[in-house]
Amino acid sequence: MGKPTPLQRALVGPAGEHYVLFRLYRQGMLASLAPPGFPTVDVLVLAYDQSVIASLQVKTRTYGTDKGWHMSIKHESISEPRLFYAFVDLEPELPVTYIVPSNVVADVLKKSHQAWLATPGAKGQQRNDNPMRRIQPLYPDEFPGYSPDWLNEWRERWDLLVATRNMRHADASSPSVSLATEEVA
């Protein structure tokens, strides 16, 4: 495939969101797209009583040499107990999804960016800090707490959302659940 057109690029995100909805449906879970404009939520995962048990931010990619996902500095501070990222890779013939807790993503972004800043640039110069971040499936070097292939641990981890549903049923009075439900209302 050649360079994608602007229309093709614009459709990548919605394709990933709908793919995640399909995969949740296959797991027997209820889910819905979040209302447009929610800054950290693309998909709401629902209990059978239609209360929100988890939220997903979907990041989708189709091509690129580092096979990573664009993020920003704001993602370093987004960490909620029932917020997960779904990193969808549409490049392989069969798409691959990584389900990663938001606290892990925030930590990886901070540590990988600090490691990137500490390494010299292409001409040996000090790198300049900037707000752009990348989640990569394979980092060139280790950084504290993570191996270069850290993302494989989260490949197709839909079970984390099932566990969240089970946690919700075990503790229906959880403040996290009521907060998540109130945020959506």
Poorest-confidence range of 1-10, 15-24, 104-113? 1-10
Structure confidence by residue, pLDDT tens digits, 81-140: 999 999 999 998 899 999 999 999 999 999 999 999 999 988 999 999 999 999 998 888
**What residues form DSSP beta bridges with 33?**
43
Q: State percent of the chain over pLDDT 70.
A: 88
CATH label of the domain that carries residue 21: 3.40.1350.10
Residue 55: CB partners within 8 Å, gap ≥ 6?
34, 40, 41, 43, 44, 45, 80, 82, 83, 84, 180
Residue 133's Cβ-count burial label (10 Å; 0-12, 13-18, 19+) is buried
Poorest-confidence range of 61-65, 73-77, 124-128? 61-65
Q: What is the pLDDT of residue 50?
A: 85
Query: Which has more pLDDT, 181 or 103?
Result: 103
Q: Is 134 within a domain?
A: yes
Q: Which two tokens stand for residue 161?
A: 């959302």
Tell me how far apart the alpha carbons of residues 143 and 133 are, in angstroms, rounded to a whole number: 15
Tell me how far apart the alpha carbons of residues 113 and 111 are, in angstroms, rounded to a whole number: 5
Query: Which has more pLDDT, 43 or 40?
Result: 43
Note down the domain range covering 167. Answer: 6-184
Closest CA to 109 of 61, 59, 155: 59
Q: Is 1 within a domain?
A: no
Q: What is the pLDDT of residue 167?
A: 62
pLDDT band at 180, cuts 50/70/90? very low
Residue 181 has pLDDT above 50, yes or no: no
Q: What is the tally of structural domains in the chain?
A: 1
pLDDT band at 172, cuts 50/70/90? very low
Residue 162 has pLDDT above 60, yes or no: yes
Q: Is 84 within a domain?
A: yes
Q: Name residue, tokens 């009521």.
A: 178
pTM: 0.85
Q: What is the pLDDT of residue 92?
A: 87
